[in-house]
Amino acid sequence: MRIVQIRKLKEGMFGDPKTGWSAYPFISGTGGKGADIRGVHVVAIYPGQLRGNHYHSKGNELLFIFSGSGIFYWEEDGKLREHPTDAHTPTVITIPPGVRHAFRNTGEAAVYLLAVRDGEFDMKEPDVVKSELVRP
């Protein structure tokens, strides 16, 4: 059973290609319900860098990867899993509580992603539990 959900966003949802693109990454594919979004932050991961190596004990984390190439890692059924991302396919990844995860930039440019947490979020206690999954 796959616990991490990976959705590649389709080109048709971005609007007019003459004026760029826009997306509702946390609503598309959810039947219109979307996520209870809190704790929104933008992340830049530079070439060769590894970010993450942690898990959250409360709530889901949703990653909207919209620029750059890399590998998303997570632990499932005691095994290390990986999913490559590329600069041309915006991707949304939903990570349930308790799932260790990390992301490595394997490209030549920065990876940019929007990360959000659903449910309650407190900056004083952000619920980030360090746990090495992938060696830096």
Delineate the domains of the chain, giving CATH numbers in brackets: 5-130 (2.60.120.10)
Contact of 41 with 92, CB cutoff 8 Å: no
pLDDT at 18: 62
Strand pairing partners for 63? 93, 115
Distance (Å, rounded) from C-alpha 61 to C-alpha 58?
9
CA distance to 58, 70, 99, per residue, from 79 (Å):
22, 19, 11
**Cα torsion for 36, 38, 41, 45, to the nearest 10°?**
-50
- Please, is 136 exposed, middle or buried when counting C-beta atoms within 10 Å of its C-beta (0-12, 13-18, 19+)? exposed
Flag residues of the chain having pLDDT under 50.
12, 28
Residue type, 118: D
Distance (Å, rounded) from C-alpha 66 to C-alpha 55?
22
pLDDT at 76: 94
Contact of 48 with 109, CB cutoff 8 Å: no
